[in-house]
Chain A
Amino acid sequence: MNFDFTDDQQAIKRTAHDFLADRLKPDKRRELAEAGSYDDGFWNEIAELGWPGIFIEEDHGGQGLGAVELVILQEELGYALAPTPFFSNAAAGFLIQQAGSDEQKERWLPGIASGEARGTVGVVSNGEAVLVPDADSAAVIVLVDGESASAVEAGSAEVESRDTIDSTRRFSRVSANGGGEQLGGDVQAGLDRAEIALAAELVGISQWALETAVAYAKERKQFDRPIGAYQAVAHRCAQMMLETEGARSAVYYAGWTADNEPDTTPLAASMAKAYAADAGWRVTASSLQVHGGIGFTWEHDLHFFLKRARTDGHLLGSARSHRDRVAELAGLSRAAATA
């Protein structure tokens, strides 16, 4: 029993952390966020590092590692609040890898793994997917509708760009108008892995918001004392830590099940997404409260994190829907009640 990363995984984490700290200085991040755009040079560097294909089978151009390694990258990308299409591309990779036929995998996974022909995932309700990340630049869009999914290539779907509160990520509305190719395999398994990846991003966001609040509480003085010396503020910070660490435990566990104990993954993924969505919002909102007025200004970076956290919470199922699924899988069965 060892609930910690291996040496190789630690190395991935350190490298990712240092690389992102170096390439995405706060000024650069702000410039991209304010423009609502991504940096192609930055994406190419990530692609050269092999990140987009980290969990994709080697036969399809990936590195053949697992969900845990992707969780590590996603946590660091969340901590850096990197404006990139990395997550959407990974989500499509998971869906196609889990649910695609050999031919479909051969067709789409190499482009996703190399980062040259990216993918994304949208959840359809009433015929359209209202909020799809990075659909405007994706070569293939996987649309999940209930238990089935289809893949649509760029040009065959209607993609309309949308403004959201999160300007660090680009979003669109997508409708396929009945087009696309069915993915016949285990759609839910792909979706669960994408949920875990998103939850990992929320852990990184929470970590940044916690650290930033604690640093501010040590330095900001009112009534001649650092505000962190007041229990009202200190206890709020302790609560932020509890939720950040809880989210981290739930996410690492879910990532581990995806690679080692897939029967548990549906429950673990919903636990991770529900907990991390709530934690991501509450921790960033709490961080804003600790910062006081400065936290409400455009000038402070916190709002970018808060908005991303909130938006992530609404993607791939809300905390409410995941909690309901946990109740179902843990033993409060609707079917049993009606039977």
Chain B
Amino acid sequence: MALSNIWIVTEPSNGSLTTTSLELLSHARSFGANISAITWGGDAALAVVAGEYGATTLYDVGDLGGALPGVPVASAIAALIASVGAPDAVFISTSYDGRDIAGRLSARLDRPVLTNVTGLADDGGLVTEHPIFGGTQTVKARFTGEGPGIFVIRAKSFAAEASGGGVASVVAAPPGDVGSTGGAMITATHVEERVGPKLEEAAVVVSGGRGLGEADKYALIEETANLLHGAAGASRAIVDAGWVPYSHQVGQTGKTVKPTVYIACGISGATQHMVGMKGSKNIVAINKDPDAPIFQIADFGIVGDVHKVLPALIAALKARA
């Protein structure tokens, strides 16, 4: 059965759409279906971006009035389905708000979800790919019941490529009455300043893990990243320990990165971490344990103490500058 309609939840970000949203729009085009985007915030510029990446219609939920997006956006999608009919599939990003929207929509429509999707192909219906056990195996799955299928897709699973399409036509899609579920309101927003390139976009990522020993030693990671014009990342272990903010976390529950080179320092290579960085073009690992799993996927490994190797690396990079 050919796919005729796909809806993509596209998240607004600084006057455009998030990169993952653009990746989902781009991949949706490969199925030959009519593509509609769903967004919120009422920014007219988004219709240009959504159109450029292949959407013909942009449903705008409008100003959320400070509400967390999960409830109003899912409510708006459910209302749209009631009025214009269900699409074959809804694509949603694996993001904070995306997961909220997917959960709400799933329960409202009584439809299951497939999450952590990293591959999606049409084989007489959409077949998904999900990495399990640290990416050593891939599960393929499909929905067997009535649609729409709700797919929650990880960042960087597909390339974002503009199609050069014209401006999408904007249709208002109000959330309607959300009743007792709608009480979560944002009262203030805090942005943690970062220097250098964004973690997801940097060509070089230098990450630190438990092997650094203590929080203060993370400065070695930041200095190395800075000298290589890269971004500093972290394993879940040191984020959980409170050494660095969550926005630095690379892995299953953090960010997915695919830089030219990923330098893992004092990171043993828990499956949770490897899923987020094994797509890097080159991987360098520094770890004192010669049997650390990280070496199994590293192109270049140094068995050594990060407290000795990193200061020497910093000195060598400074000498070249």
| A and B associate | no
